Structure 1
Amino acid sequence: MTETQPALLAENINVTFGTTQALKNVTLRVDKGEMVALIGPSGSGKSTLLRVSAGLQLADSTSGASRIFGDRVQEKGKLSPGVRRARAKVGFIFQQFNLVKRISLYSNVLIGALGRMPGWQGVMGRFSPEDRKKAMDSLERVGIAEYAGNRAANLSGGQQQRGAIARAMVQGAQAIFADEPIASLDPVSARNVMRLLAELNEQDGITVVVTLHQVDYALKYCRRAVALKAGEIIYDGPTSGLTRDKLIEIYGDEYIGVLDEEGEPA
């Protein structure tokens, strides 16, 4: 089923916070194997769309539905009975890493296996030898195996974010949804994280949907961009189409100064 279904299909999504409509009848399809950047100004709805797609935020009852690899996540503002099965296919990467600070990096990465285990085994910490090996292999893959025994609280932001990606790998995620994964990182760590996501997409075929404030990272690492403004999609196409005029349309005239400093997109 996952071979023929899109990795993500969110249809006619509405989300309202108080008197503010954060998403207005938004539809987004992401096919298996794509790496897509969600861009737009602060408050445009890109993070809300990603969270609704994963079932971390309920849409309005006037909404349609969201599905992950064909498994329904929610419909008309209610979580679907199969939401756990759908979520198991997605590793969600948060801006603030969401690691358990008091335990080791290795233990944090092992947590990714919990969704595939009976509840009692998880509570007892009875991880299989295969899962333990996969945790170390994943830490090696993301380049931080030497810090496996360190408490998460003692790691840098970039190390924690790579740990979160390793956790998704142990989970066996077929897709990664990353919500501003580099917003809190220095430029070197940000490049490392984006390169890692691109590598998992290109080499492992993992679908990646990433929200970004930094347009230059979207241009460099993603072939497709979806731009939101005031809760609506105003651009969906190749990143090569993000010209100076298009970016000014998305972000407003205040973006001209940023373009002048960073160079005009192709």
Structure 2
Amino acid sequence: MSETTPALLAENINVTFGTTQALKGVSLTVAPGEIVALIGPSGSGKSTLLRVSAGLQTADSSSGVTRLFGDRVQEAGKLSRGVRRARAQIGFIFQQFNLVKRISLYSNVLIGALGRMPTWKGVIGRFASADRKKAMDALERVGIAQYAGNRAANLSGGQQQRGAIARALVQGARAIFADEPIASLDPVSARNVMRLLAELNEQDGITVVVTLHQVDYALKYCKRAVALKDGEIIYDGPTGGLTRERLIEIYGDEYIGVLDEEGEPA
């Protein structure tokens, strides 16, 4: 695989739910090592685009192709036979954490190793010592190793979200796709999670694509923003280009009050 192969390539993606077209011929390319914020109002299509890119949602048959690091995910609305191999290269972080509540944080993080081992070993929990060490190292990396033995249900939202990121590290993910990862978090936890994603991008070269409602977090932690509105991309460029006028174009006049309270972007 060439170093110039995109981490994500989506070409001419259409998605329809009933009578609503959620994505209208959307194309997006993300290079390895980028950190990109998908922004836009509710219902704009940003979460749908992320899920289609990961093969968690099928596109319409009128669509083109999506690839992850060169591996085909789907084409013309049909998942590829090699979709599991493609998915193995990304860690998907959900808004509601997606941890198994009844087991420990450590066990949840170990789940990231399942894709590298025979199914029977995973069923009986026979993880290699190297994977067990990797799980603890990942928990140290995200700053919650002291909670390794706690049941996931007893952790705060921010701790659970960092656990989900640790699981992606154990998986060996080359990219992290995060769908509204801070929407359910308090401001301190939200900053911690976004700071962690930015650090993994900068220090480890992990590609990050994150959907965000909060424009201020996109401005602070992401270098590139892709804005969707009514199922179409209306801005794709540096976050520094998200001027007041551009944001009003994206979100509408009702966003003026928010801008006045938070301060006008550069």
Q: TM-score, normalised by structure 2?
A: 0.99
Partners of 1:2 and 1:76 in 2: how far apart? 25
- After TM superposition, give the deviation of residue 103 of structure 1 in Å: 0.2
Give the aligned partner of residue 259 of structure 1: 259
- Give secondary structure in 2 for the equivalent of 1:49: helix
Kindly indicate whether the alpha-carbon contact (under 8 Å) linking 2:4 and 2:31 is maintained by their aligned counterparts in 1: no
Q: 1:162 to 1:2 in 2, by over 3 A?
A: farther
- 1:250 aligned onto 2:260: no
Q: Which digits, 9 at most, give the CA deviation of each residue in 1:217-257, with x for residues without a partner?
A: 00000000000000000000000000000000000000000
Partners of 2:85 and 2:2 in 1: how far apart? 12
- 1:136 aligned onto 2:136: yes
Give the aligned partner of residue 102 of structure 1: 102
Give the aligned partner of residue 44 of structure 2: 44
Give the aligned partner of residue 152 of structure 1: 152
Q: Tell me which amino acid in the other structure corresponds to 1:43.
A: G
- 1:53 aligned onto 2:66: no
Partners of 1:71 and 1:86 in 2: how far apart? 5
Kindly indicate whether the alpha-carbon contact (under 8 Å) linking 1:11 and 1:28 is maintained by their aligned counterparts in 2: yes
- After TM superposition, give the deviation of residue 3 of structure 1 in Å: 2.5
- After TM superposition, give the deviation of residue 124 of structure 1 in Å: 1.4
Q: Which digits, 9 at most, give the CA deviation of each residue in 1:146-188, with x for residues without a partner?
A: 0000000000000000000000000000000000000000000
Q: Which digits, 9 at most, give the CA deviation of each residue in 1:40-93, with x for residues without a partner?
A: 000000000000000000000000010000000001111001101100000000
Q: 1:2 to 1:53 in 2, by over 3 A?
A: farther
**Unpaired runs of at least 5, structure 1:** none
- After TM superposition, give the deviation of residue 119 of structure 1 in Å: 1.0
Give the aligned partner of residue 165 of structure 2: 165
- Give secondary structure in 1 for the equivalent of 2:203: helix
Give the aligned partner of residue 200 of structure 2: 200
Give the aligned partner of residue 72 of structure 1: 72
Q: Tell me which amino acid in the other structure corresponds to 1:227.
A: A
Kindly indicate whether the alpha-carbon contact (under 8 Å) linking 1:2 and 1:69 is maintained by their aligned counterparts in 2: no
Kindly indicate whether the alpha-carbon contact (under 8 Å) linking 1:104 and 1:152 is maintained by their aligned counterparts in 2: yes
- 1:119 aligned onto 2:119: yes
Partners of 1:129 and 1:135 in 2: how far apart? 10
- Give secondary structure in 1 for the equivalent of 2:253: coil
- Give secondary structure in 1 for the equivalent of 2:24: strand
Give the aligned partner of residue 91 of structure 1: 91
Identity %: 88
Q: Tell me which amino acid in the other structure corresponds to 1:187.
A: P
- 1:27 aligned onto 2:22: no
Partners of 1:209 and 1:254 in 2: how far apart? 27
Partners of 2:240 and 2:99 in 1: how far apart? 35
- After TM superposition, give the deviation of residue 120 of structure 1 in Å: 1.1
Runs of 4+, deviation exceeding 6 Å: none
Partners of 2:11 and 2:56 in 1: how far apart? 16
Partners of 2:129 and 2:86 in 1: how far apart? 26
- After TM superposition, give the deviation of residue 39 of structure 1 in Å: 0.1
Partners of 2:111 and 2:40 in 1: how far apart? 32
Partners of 1:74 and 1:3 in 2: how far apart? 22
Count how many residue pairs are aligned between Structure 1 and Structure 2. Answer: 266
- Give secondary structure in 2 for the equivalent of 1:254: helix
- Give secondary structure in 2 for the equivalent of 1:209: strand
**Unpaired runs of at least 5, structure 2:** none
Give the aligned partner of residue 12 of structure 1: 12
Q: TM-score, normalised by structure 1?
A: 0.99
Q: Tell me which amino acid in the other structure corresponds to 2:205.
A: G
- Give secondary structure in 2 for the equivalent of 1:139: helix
- After TM superposition, give the deviation of residue 2 of structure 1 in Å: 5.9
